[in-house]
Structure formats: structure tokens, C-alpha cells
Structure 1
Amino acid sequence: MKNILVAVDHKNDAEILISHAVNIAKLTSAKIWLIHVTQADPDDFLAREAGPQYVYEKRAEERKEEKATIEKWAENVAKEYNVEVEGRIIEGSVIKSIRKLVEECNIDLVVAGHKKKNLVYGLFTSNKKKDLIDDLQIPLLAVPLG
């Protein structure tokens, strides 16, 4: 195992997901790819035509903060645990973005969070983890989160 992708959605969940990836990376000398999938870049000229300016300015600021956070986590993990880490912000849908990075970077394992939802929620939404497992054809470590 040479490449582990950690998909982080919420700051609160990042620590537990990263810790699982670090444990595996230490055992296998793997590189960790720490990613957060976000909405399309508001700096895109075509995207700006659809709404008010303040919406795009707020989203641009949020995106800068997300990028800084991912880069800081990657730097801290690399220093603290002496593993190779790269942080990235990726635009687009979660499954398509993860699938693309898996192919580009020869990812061997995806670490993602899983939150238990109630039965009604499950009946009316798609099962993203199952879709991801079917699409990737590589192991997915689904870490239970609060």
C-alpha cells in the first residue's frame, strides 16, 4: 500500500479520520492524500453571472479558509507523525472527485467517515458509500462518526 486518500467533510471529523490513515501509513510507509471536496470555484466568470456578488465573495472566502485548513492539517500531520502528506481542495461532486483522484494518484485505500442515519433518511437518499465502493473497486475504510 503506497497511497491512502482521506476524504474530510467536516472539521470535527477530520482528527479521527486522519488518525486512522496515519496508523495505516506508518505500517505501510504510504503517502496520505488529505482532501476536501467543495463547490465549484466562484471566481469562474460563467458562474458569476447567475447570482449576486456577495454570494460569490462569501463562497470565495470560505474556499480560502478551507484550503488553508487542509494545508495546515497536512503540515501538522507530516511534522507530528513523520509521514508524507499532501492536502488538496477539489471542486465537484464527491464521488466523481474521489474517483478521479484515485485514478490519478494510484490510491490503494480510501478513508471516509460514516454517520448513522435513521431508517426514514435511508429510504429517501442514495447510499453514497455503496456507490463509492462500487465505483472505485479498491478498499474503503468507513470510519463510524458520532
Structure 2
Amino acid sequence: MKNILIAISQPEDAKQLISQAVKIAQDTGGKLWIVHVTEANPDDFLAREAGPQYIYDKRAETRKKAKTYVDEQAIKINSEYGISAEGLVIQGAVAKTIKETVEKYNIDLVVAGHRKKDFLYSLFTANRKKDLVDELKIPLLAVPLQVH
């Protein structure tokens, strides 16, 4: 596995996902791509909807923090493990964006987190992981996430 994508949604889950991906990268000599998918860029005039300025300011701040975080994690992986790693913050729909990133960077494996949800929750929400599994043509490692 030469290219491994780590799909990070929440920073508190990153440690578990990175740990699993690092083990695989060490065994295969692969490169890690830490990816966080975010909402549309608030600095893009065409992406804006009608609404108060503070919403755009908050979204821009959140996006900047996410970019800083994934870049820091990539640097940490490289320095601690000697594994090539790169951080990406990409805007768009999660499943579609990950699929496009997989194709663009020739990803061989996607590492993503999984939390057990109750039956009622699953009835009223979209199942993003199922959508992603259906769309990908490569393996997806679903890491069970610990409750914080």
C-alpha cells in the first residue's frame, strides 16, 4: 500500500486513526494523506448563502484551525516515525470528496473512524460510510472509535 488516506472528522479521533494508519505504512512503506473534509470555503463569494457575517467568520476560523491541525499531524508523523505524510483540508460532500481524493492521489486504502449508533439514529440520518463503501473501489478500514 503506497498511499493511505486517513479521513479525519474530529481531532479527538485522529490519534486512533493515525495509529492504525502508521502501523500499515510502516509495514508497507506507504505515504499517509491526512484528509479533513469541510464545508464550502466562506472566503469564496460564490459559495456564500444569505446570512450574517459572523457565520462566515466562524466557518473561516474553523477551516483555518483544521488546516493547522492536519499539517501539524503530518509533520509529527514524519518526524516521529519517518513516514512521509501530507495534510489536506478539502471542501465538499464527504463521500464525494474522499472518492475524488482517492482517484487524484492514487490511494490504496482509506482509514476512517466508526462509532456505534443506535437503531433510531440510523433510521433518521444518512449513512455516509455506506455511501463511501459503495463508491470506493479500494479497501476501507473502519476503525472503532472509543467514546471520549
TM-score if structure 1 supplies the norm length?
0.96
Deviation at 1:49, TM superposition (A): 5.3
* Aligned residue in 2 for 1:61: 61
SS of alignment partner, residue 103 of structure 2: helix
Structure 1 runs of 4+ with >6 Å offset: none
Q: Distance in 2 between matches of 1:49 and 1:20?
A: 39
* Aligned residue in 1 for 2:43: 43
Q: Deviations over 1:75-102 (max 9, x none)?
A: 0111101100010001000000000000
Q: Matches of residues 77-96 of structure 1 in structure 2 within 5 Å?
A: 77-96=77-96
Query: Which segment drifts farther, 85-94 or 44-53?
Result: 44-53
Q: Distance in 1 between matches of 2:40 and 2:61?
A: 13
SS of alignment partner, residue 75 of structure 2: helix
Which AA in structure 1 matches 2:97? S
TM-score if structure 2 supplies the norm length?
0.95
Q: Deviations over 1:35-62 (max 9, x none)?
A: 0000000001123451111211121111
> For residues 107 and 42 of structure 1, do their structure 2 counterparts lie closer, same or farther at Cα, with a shift above 3 Å needed?
same
Which AA in structure 2 matches 1:57? D
* Aligned residue in 1 for 2:30: 30
- 1:99 aligned onto 2:76: no
Identity rate of aligned residues, in percent?
Answer: 58
Q: Distance in 2 between matches of 1:55 and 1:106?
A: 35
* Aligned residue in 2 for 1:124: 124
Q: Distance in 1 between matches of 2:9 and 2:38?
A: 9
Q: Distance in 2 between matches of 1:132 and 1:90?
A: 16
Gaps of 5+ in 2: none
Q: Distance in 2 between matches of 1:47 and 1:134?
A: 28
Q: CA RMSD in A?
A: 1.1
